[in-house]
Amino acid sequence: MVKGMMTTSKEAAYKASLEASINAGYEILQNGGSAVDAVEKAVTVLEDSPLFNAGKGSVFTADGAHEMDASIMDGSNKEAGAVGLISGIKNPIQLARKVMDNSEHVFLGGDGAMEFAKSQNVKTVDEAYFFDQLRYDQWQEIKDTDSFQLDHSKSKDHKFGTVGAVALDQNGNVAAATSTGGMTNKRFGRIGDSPMIGSGNYANNKTCAVSCTGSGEFFIRGVVAYEVSALIEFKGCTLEEAANEVINKRILEIGGDGGLIAVDSEGNITMPFNTEGMYRAQHISGQETQVAIYK
């Protein structure tokens, strides 16, 4: 996110989508529902919006298609589900949940994931559903080149970004969910950190739940989501200390940028980022919803 590259109306639309997402997730928690159900619902709302690079708003690949990735993790038992390189699935996060709940696997990709989706009656949509003029124009600028773009790169003002949610429920369980359309003009079946448990998504009741966004290759190499948890578990860091160490030091040292959202089992929340901005929102019981973009 780069300040000054947004219209007032578009900024309001993004904030409204974030608020709708967090309210949908919080309603589940308020009614005694699980953290897993809450993060799945919150991410589903964002996948249904064309404003974010996930689900309906996914960016175009080099072939002019849409390849989506998603993952979800339950901190109470460390069960997880993830999908990569899927097409035509309306809500990838719901398919990731099916992998977690209804298979003996964690990560399914490509044709196999699509075959599993059919067996689970997951909702599919025509390719036209994913068409967005801004995303298309953005792809046209670098089509037929070897370039690809991150969803928060400075020169591009119409593609933000990977979506995610973390939650703590009334039973003290945490969960995390992450979904993305990847990089514009990506080739060779590229997969980022979003569906990788421990890199872009992680949850453990002993420590915290984490969902990441940013330069995926670096978040994979830094095993970022798990790194936050490990600093809490093995070094005794607070949630904020651990997240800041990873985002504002470790990931920068290897050349990566981005941010994360995290909640621990005590209900502490942190949302650090080393870019100019990151769309984020939080709702704590008894408090007003907070939505922010810039530092």
Q: What is the pTM of this model?
A: 0.92
Residue 156: the pLDDT is 43
Question: Does 122 map to a domain?
Answer: yes
**CATH number of the domain bearing residue 284:** 3.60.20.30
| Per annotation, catalytic residue among 162, 184, 207, 275 | 162
Question: Does 215 map to a domain?
Answer: yes
pLDDT 10s digits, 27-51: 999 999 999 999 999 999 999 999 9
Domain count, the chain: 1
State which amino acid sits at residue 266. E
Question: Does 185 map to a domain?
Answer: yes
Higher pLDDT, 141 or 236: 236
Residue 33: the pLDDT is 98
pLDDT 10s digits, 156-176: 443 457 999 999 999 999 999
Q: What is the largest CA-CA distance in the chain?
A: 52
Question: Does 282 map to a domain?
Answer: yes
The answer to whether residues 108 and 216 touch, using CB atoms and an 8 Å cutoff, is: no
pLDDT 10s digits, 71-92: 999 999 999 999 999 999 999 9
Question: Does 43 map to a domain?
Answer: yes
Question: Does 3 map to a domain?
Answer: no
Question: Does 45 map to a domain?
Answer: yes
Question: Does 290 map to a domain?
Answer: yes
Q: Any catalytic annotation for residue 145?
A: no
- Counting beta carbons within 10 angstroms of the beta carbon of residue 128, is it exposed (0 to 12), middle (13 to 18) or buried (19 or more)? exposed
> How much is the average pLDDT of 252-275?
96
Which structural domain, as residue segments, surrounds residue 156? 8-294
